[in-house]
Structure 1
């Protein structure tokens, strides 16, 4: 699993660099010219671009990284973290191959689809701190040490909007 996720990560980073979405320092580069759906809407371009970079697109913190509660994240030269026989993570790429569904097993297929289409936000893990910011606590501590993220209400709205696919794109 570690070698497979390592190969996926390296090839994806190479592809992103070749198309100009990632520079040599592993920093994301905005390329709205490459995607027609972004040419007519600057706000959508900023929103999606910030979303993939873990940055804030709008408001007073625009351009800043999402505030994490925990430790940082390494992009490249990370050692693959094998989490089991069918799960591995490296450089932010995660491969999970633990679910197998037979072509004839409709019930398990429906369960897998229901799991994949679940809500991206568990409201019971969302709280407001003393400064009026929203704290979203992760179900488990991430491998990079992040246990929660800190967002203003506007930043949360922006992140949720970025999850909605544009018309005719899904």
Structure 2
């Protein structure tokens, strides 16, 4: 369970001309050091809030998400807690990290890391602000809107290996890892945590 938000914003502002017409003024592109300030501030504030409210322990491994009711705590919190910390909640691999295929960097970095223009990450948080669409590019705008409105799981990225494990293909910029691998029960567990959220 990786929580994320998409924002579609104008890269400028409208003003009114003397004749009452609207004038659009584009602002300069954002630089990676500015994005680093954003991702640093967001990561520190979210982690501080989670610790203050008792949802994240100091070591960052245990996360509690829920409304505090007995049913929520017992039936769902365990799945959510494991999911947001990239661990397995049930079965023979309970408590272990989700298996990743391919190279991958850890989440222990304390300084923002620039991946490319407009893409910065830190402590598992990232900001991607490199996509820009011109006013006349209506087809690209439609494609972007469809991307923003997509579901959390892509059927095209799911496959099975020779042992019956479920492989889920990751985006190429995901730290070098190509897939995550789940047993059938582990995959159902992850789906359940999203459905019941």
- TM bracket, shorter-chain basis: 0.7 to 0.9
SS in 1 for 2:177: coil
Larger radius of gyration: 2
Write 1 or 2 for the structure with the bigger share of strand.
Answer: 2
Q: Please say if residues 118 and 129 of structure 2, whose CA atoms lie closer than 8 Å, have aligned partners that are also in contact.
A: yes
Shift of residue 155 of structure 1?
0.9
Q: Hey, what's the Cα distance between the residues in 1 that align with 2:50 and 2:123?
A: 14
Q: Which of 49, 53, 73 is the aligned partner of 2:81?
A: 49
Structure with the greater relative contact order (CA < 8 A, sep ≥ 6): 1 or 2? 1
Q: Which position in structure 2 is the counterpart of 1:58? A: 90
Q: Hey, what's the Cα distance between the residues in 2 that align with 1:72 and 1:93?
A: 15
Q: Which position in structure 2 is the counterpart of 1:157? A: 188
Q: Which position in structure 1 is the counterpart of 2:39? A: 5
Q: Which of 127, 139, 147 is the aligned partner of 2:159?
A: 127
Q: Hey, what's the Cα distance between the residues in 2 that align with 1:78 and 1:125?
A: 31
TM-score using structure 2 length = 0.67
Query: Unaligned regions of 5+ residues in structure 2, if any?
Result: 1-34
SS in 2 for 1:147: strand
Q: 1:48 to 1:88 in 2, by over 3 A?
A: same
Q: Which position in structure 1 is the counterpart of 2:124? A: 92
Query: Unaligned regions of 5+ residues in structure 1, if any?
Result: none
Q: 1:82 to 1:21 in 2, by over 3 A?
A: same
RMSD between aligned alpha carbons?
A: 2.9
Shift of residue 109 of structure 1?
7.6
1:7-26 superposed Cα distances (whole Å, 9 cap, x missing partner): 11111111111112222222
